[in-house]
Structure 1
Amino acid sequence: MTREPSPFEYLGSAESRWAHYQPWLKSIGYSLRRRYQPNWKASWITSGIPEDDSEDSLVLNFRALVLDATRDSDGRRVCLKLLPTRTKELPIWKYLTSPERLSDPRNHSVPLLATHPLPDTDDKVLAVMPLLLAYRVLRFETLGELLSCLYHLVQGLAFMHEHNIAHLDLCHQNTMLDPGSRLFPKGFHPVRPLLHVANPQSPKVTHAPHSCRTLARVTYYIIDFGESVQFESFEAREYITGAVGHDLDVPEFATNDPYDPFALDIRAMGDMLYDAFYEPFRGYKGLEAVMPIIKEMQRDSPKERPSAIDVLSKVHSLLEAQTLTSLRTPLRGIREDLDRVTDDARKYIYEARVKRYHPIQPPIPELKTEEVEPMTLVAKILGRLRLLF
């Protein structure tokens, strides 16, 4: 019986470009996964491992303008991106991630680690950044995790606006987290993070164990400045025209009138966060206190929307009004039973208490919060027993 070839046995056109660059990338210190090595052949043809369980069957999207890699000098996992040289994306990115601005903890722009001219064209340049994951890769386990995410994302937007930069493409795809080494302690596959390669000598992928945002102390980043605009000063700001970004269902785009790009950012982030927190299939219960802030960001009139710094102030006040108990409250999905709390959530909350981790991670220095007291021996024993029943 003749075996029917799988379409994933062949590289797509965008993938082929990365494979073509492989020798050059290796020469400047970056290694690619096996799929992009010279003369690659699909491992599942001869390994006996099913295609769906084979690491090299996991492919990029059809555009493939980004690709994961390993930096040979230190083994760091990075992301490579092909950037056009005739746009403002690279200058704005360099501005936001200069050493001076990167040292500001309010800056949540993804760091630009390096740039390299391509060997075969001047139209694009290779940009190198940390390998990040979608900010919703795992559910929010507690109210504190969700509010921390909200605070840091708004803080990052306020920082950009302070520097007279409007992002203009705020969306789920451009909102990321850095998992560090603790969110997926045994690693993750960059295409499907809930999988990992347990044995480097084998292409087989298995379930990737994970912890939670509190224990991993993840950091949040805004990426992709391809649509962004920068003004020389606050006084030099001006209205712009044209529909841009992923969020096209906004009042500004209903006409051809010029609009305020900074107010558009507020609406786009509000729409994104509303979808993340309240969408019927992935949203959460018990977020009534957050809703007024999101709704203000979503106002149809741009002039009635708060500024980024005003939104940040409201989130700050909301956080300071919380107790440790409320911040540790397990979140339940909108579609979950009222009394359902996952075993994982109980385990994570208990472990965080034992380690004296505050429910807001990473810490917010300007936030006045209760101090996390050490657990008594009795509390530890009772907590451990609750995990068993």
Structure 2
Amino acid sequence: MRTEDSPLQCMASISAASNNPGSLSPAVPSSSNRIGSLPHDVAVEVREWYQFDTVLSKDEAAWRDRYSFLLSRGYRLRSRYEPGWAPSWVNLDIDPAYCDDSIDMVLPMVLDAKRLSDGATVCIKRIDPKESTDEVKIAKYLSSVELTRDPKNHCVVIWDHFKDPIIPKVEFIVMRPLRRYADPEFGAVGEVVDFVTQLIEGMEFMHKHLVAHGDLTTQNIMMDARPILPSGWHFVAHNCTLDGVTPVSPLARIDYPVRYVIIDFDCSVRLSPGQPRLITNFGGRDGDPPEYKSRDPYDPFKIDVFTLGNVFFKDFYKVYEGLDFLAGLIDIMKAPNFRQRPDAEAAMKYWLNVRSHIDVGRARWRLQKRNETLGERVVYGAVAFAREGVHRMKHMLSGEGHRVYWS
């Protein structure tokens, strides 16, 4: 099956699949130069070895059954989901890895499509709640024209929304394609500072509008990666360009800052003005907040503060060296007693004070993982030094000054 973790996602040849003993010889184009052409025996072996799906799964079939409906709404799914689809590689001597219709899906409720009006790639999410939630209402509220004008709003923008024609309780929302926020990995200290600033800013915005996210964890933080991947990327084979074959070459986000986006409001709650901020039965993946261990009511907004602090701790502070400036922020955001934990506004004030004391010259320092070997440090350090040299030379030739990341 071709999935986002498949070793074939970004192959230029079969031998490019890493950690795969007994990998096959590189693909050799035929005299017609047809990309992906293979000798017949090799093509057969490829199909047997990697077992590309020639029949849609149950989850995929649900999308196929809505192909015509989505087309009528202005969205065309990939050819794999057209009614009557037959795998393009079955009767041809072609490596399936070169065929876009060999790529299935990442998650059963999310799929990409082309918008007919302009050909842009969009992300369609199928919402089929097991329990009644306000996910769509809250997402649409945070996407209202008035709120999207605020630059502090880091919530995903909903472009379109409609009901399912088959199952009444199912709804669809359409959004911009986003990318996991740490893919590619962070490379410089300034990138972490920018991430922390944007996420606290986004949390403060939501709380200002009385929305507690409830699952403000790694999985629900994405990025608009267009600045570092201006040519785009494949929605499923995310390490490839739009063709699903060519490896992406991302730019450094320290030079091309991205915008981070908060998604998924299925665990969220929107309170009314003056409503007491103490509730129960609230929260998502992160089971660390101490108040979950008690049956007493707790503040849902303070849950967000804790879980976001946990993101800073687990994804950055524990992983990289040289981020000691995060320690105090993490400590207060993860205070065991939620009544002593700062709200989002106080957390932002604390962070801005910390940030003002960080030497701006550290912005371009390479992020060094705590578990790096000596050899890795030498190699990565040399690469970072060379990249910085190129950066400085470009700025000298262009006459531009250095970017100021914070003050």
1:46–1:284 CA distance, 2 compared to 1 (3 A): farther
1:20–1:349 CA distance, 2 compared to 1 (3 A): farther
Whole-angstrom distance in 1 between the partners of 2:202 and 2:389: 27
How far apart are residue 169 of structure 1 and its match? 0.8
Aligned to 1:83: 127
How far apart are residue 113 of structure 1 and its match? 0.7
Q: Is the 8 A contact 2:214 2:303 kept in 1?
A: yes
Counterparts of 1:1-389 in structure 2, within 5 Å, are 4=48, 6=51, 8-52=53-97, 54-61=99-106, 64-84=108-128, 86-180=132-226, 182-198=227-243, 205-233=245-273, 235-242=274-281, 244-279=283-318, 283-336=319-372, 337=374, 338-339=377-378, 340-341=380-381, 343=383, 346-347=386-387, 350-351=390-391, 354=395, 356=401, 358=403, 360=405, 369=407
Question: C-alpha offsets along residues 294-340 of structure 1, whole Å, 9 cap, x if unaligned?
Answer: 12211211112111111112222233223432112121122224554
Whole-angstrom distance in 2 between the partners of 1:342 and 1:115: 49
Whole-angstrom distance in 1 between the partners of 2:404 and 2:51: 47
Amino acid at match of 2:177: L
Q: Is the 8 A contact 1:31 1:71 kept in 2?
A: yes
Amino acid at match of 1:57: S
Whole-angstrom distance in 1 between the partners of 2:268 and 2:348: 21
Q: Is the 8 A contact 1:240 1:261 kept in 2?
A: yes
Equivalent residues, number: 351
Whole-angstrom distance in 1 between the partners of 2:346 and 2:364: 26
TM-score by length of 1: 0.82
SS of the aligned residue for 2:387 comes to: helix
SS of the aligned residue for 2:255 comes to: helix
Q: Is the 8 A contact 2:211 2:270 kept in 1?
A: yes
Whole-angstrom distance in 2 between the partners of 1:98 and 1:216: 28
Whole-angstrom distance in 1 between the partners of 2:316 and 2:93: 42
Q: Is the 8 A contact 1:25 1:31 kept in 2?
A: yes
1:292–1:346 CA distance, 2 compared to 1 (3 A): farther
Whole-angstrom distance in 2 between the partners of 1:320 and 1:47: 61
Aligned to 2:35: none
Q: Is the 8 A contact 1:164 1:231 kept in 2?
A: yes
1:143–1:60 CA distance, 2 compared to 1 (3 A): same
Q: Is the 8 A contact 1:212 1:348 kept in 2?
A: no
Amino acid at match of 1:215: D
Question: C-alpha offsets along residues 347-376 of structure 1, whole Å, 9 cap, x if unaligned?
Answer: 26743872646253xxxxxx6x3xxxxxxx
1:53–1:356 CA distance, 2 compared to 1 (3 A): farther
Q: Is the 8 A contact 1:185 1:209 kept in 2?
A: no
Whole-angstrom distance in 2 between the partners of 1:333 and 1:251: 29
Amino acid at match of 2:278: Y
SS of the aligned residue for 2:230 comes to: coil
Q: Percent identity?
A: 31
| Unmatched tracts of structure 1, length 5 or more | 199-203, 361-366, 370-389
Whole-angstrom distance in 2 between the partners of 1:76 and 1:43: 24
1:123–1:35 CA distance, 2 compared to 1 (3 A): same
Amino acid at match of 1:56: D
How far apart are residue 158 of structure 1 and its match? 0.5
Whole-angstrom distance in 2 between the partners of 1:37 and 1:285: 49
Amino acid at match of 1:150: V
Q: Is the 8 A contact 1:169 1:227 kept in 2?
A: yes
How far apart are residue 49 of structure 1 and its match? 4.2
Whole-angstrom distance in 2 between the partners of 1:132 and 1:348: 28
The more displaced of 68-77 and 96-105 is 68-77
SS of the aligned residue for 2:158 comes to: coil
Q: Is the 8 A contact 2:317 2:324 kept in 1?
A: no
The more displaced of 216-225 and 52-61 is 52-61
Instruction: Report the aligned-residue RMSD.
Output: 2.5
Whole-angstrom distance in 2 between the partners of 1:12 and 1:194: 23
SS of the aligned residue for 1:214 comes to: coil
Q: Is the 8 A contact 2:217 2:285 kept in 1?
A: yes
How far apart are residue 52 of structure 1 and its match? 4.8
TM-score by length of 2: 0.79
1:347–1:75 CA distance, 2 compared to 1 (3 A): farther
